[in-house]
Amino acid sequence: MSMKITRYEFIARAVDPIAHHEENLGNMSVFMRKRMMLPNGTVQRVPYVTGDSIRHKSREAAVYATLDAAGLLSDPQLTEGALRLLFAGGMVTGKGDASVINLDSFRELINLFPPLALFGGCVDNRPLPGQLIVDEGNLVCEETIHTAPSWVSEWLTANGVQLQTHRRLLEEVTRVRMDPTLSPEKVKLLSGDQQISVNRRLSASGKAHDDGDAKDAEREKSSMMPRSFERIIQGSLFWCGIEARTYSPLEADAFDYTVGCLLNNFTVGGKCATGHGKLRFVAGNRIHFAPSSGTLEGMGTDLAGNTGTTFRAHVKEHAEQLRSWLGRVVA
């Protein structure tokens, strides 16, 4: 069993604006930021996408790819424990004997579900360490470029991309959820009693404003909800790295396929239902650390070719065993 470390580094372009928030201040959502030391020694808070978020997207991609390869997506009927393990890494359940390592069981586990070896998880009351590391999604800007791999800077220069400060890549927008009772044509859809009630409330609200009665104005106000949020502007670039230790060709292929599935439908953050979060792969490199060290090769075409063939064939061959195992797993 020989170890191989493979690392993918890639640049992705925000096809949509990115909304990924850390907290709300009143009705304002603040974009996720991290403290970062700049080359001049000062510390700044810079927007980024958390590694947790991208890792979870990778996990989802790997799970759906495996269930699809096993033909289990048409009628999954998974148990709660199986779902918790696949999509959230499982839990220490208190059922099972964590003090005994059953190596056969461990081997069966990662043989039937190769991505589990990569992501790790908690199975049969015992945590299994993962072999996958997902970097944070770093915004390509003046403040972060010193931490990016050298090929990223070279790519930016070669493609005439001018670096901006992160402040120019962040914008604040406001959206309003409307109150349907403020629209006369929608009020007509109400029952007679309800129409009278709504019109009475609107009159009372107007009168309270005219009289300057704050208490009544508050009581009779509409349910319109304006809220603002920060977002990274459309077209911005992010760079990210994903790295895994693998111990067999099957694990290596599962890793390649997971990265391929992630990048094929790469979304991060919230507000996906309203045109946010889509990223598109622009350029990338695959780096092999063993047996030689640090050799780079382009990753674009290779990922689209035979990647995943071994993995999918293996999962398909063991589909029935996988279904049976998922039916009894405690996680």
- The yes or no reply on residue 130 touching another protein (CB under 8 A) is yes
Tokens 């947790």 label which residue?
52
Helix segments in 147-298, DSSP class H: 150-158, 184-187, 192-211, 214-219, 249-264
Distance CA(269)–CA(18), nearest Å, equals: 7
241: left (phi over 0), alpha (psi -120 to 50) or beta: beta
- The yes or no reply on residue 147 touching another protein (CB under 8 A) is yes
Distance CA(193)–CA(141), nearest Å, equals: 58
- The yes or no reply on residue 80 touching another protein (CB under 8 A) is yes
| Contacts (Cβ under 8 Å, ≥6 apart) of 47 | 31, 32, 33, 139, 166, 169, 170, 230, 232
The count of residues interacting with another protein (CB under 8 A) is 54
Scanning 12-20, 94-102, 220-228, 307-315 for contacts with another protein by CB under 8 A, the matching segment is: 94-102
- The yes or no reply on residue 191 touching another protein (CB under 8 A) is no
- The yes or no reply on residue 271 touching another protein (CB under 8 A) is no
Instruction: Report the residue from 43, 160, 301, 305 that binds another protein according to the rule CB under 8 A.
Output: 43
* 254 and 311 Cβ atoms separated by less than 8 Å: yes
Q: End-to-end alpha-carbon separation of the chain, Å?
A: 27
Instruction: Report the residue from 13, 50, 227, 296 that binds another protein according to the rule CB under 8 A.
Output: 50
- The yes or no reply on residue 52 touching another protein (CB under 8 A) is yes
- The yes or no reply on residue 62 touching another protein (CB under 8 A) is no
Scanning 204-212, 225-233, 243-251, 276-284 for contacts with another protein by CB under 8 A, the matching segment is: 243-251
- The yes or no reply on residue 272 touching another protein (CB under 8 A) is no
- The yes or no reply on residue 129 touching another protein (CB under 8 A) is yes
- The yes or no reply on residue 111 touching another protein (CB under 8 A) is no
Identity of the residue, 99 or 191, whose beta carbon is nearer to another protein in the bound complex: 99
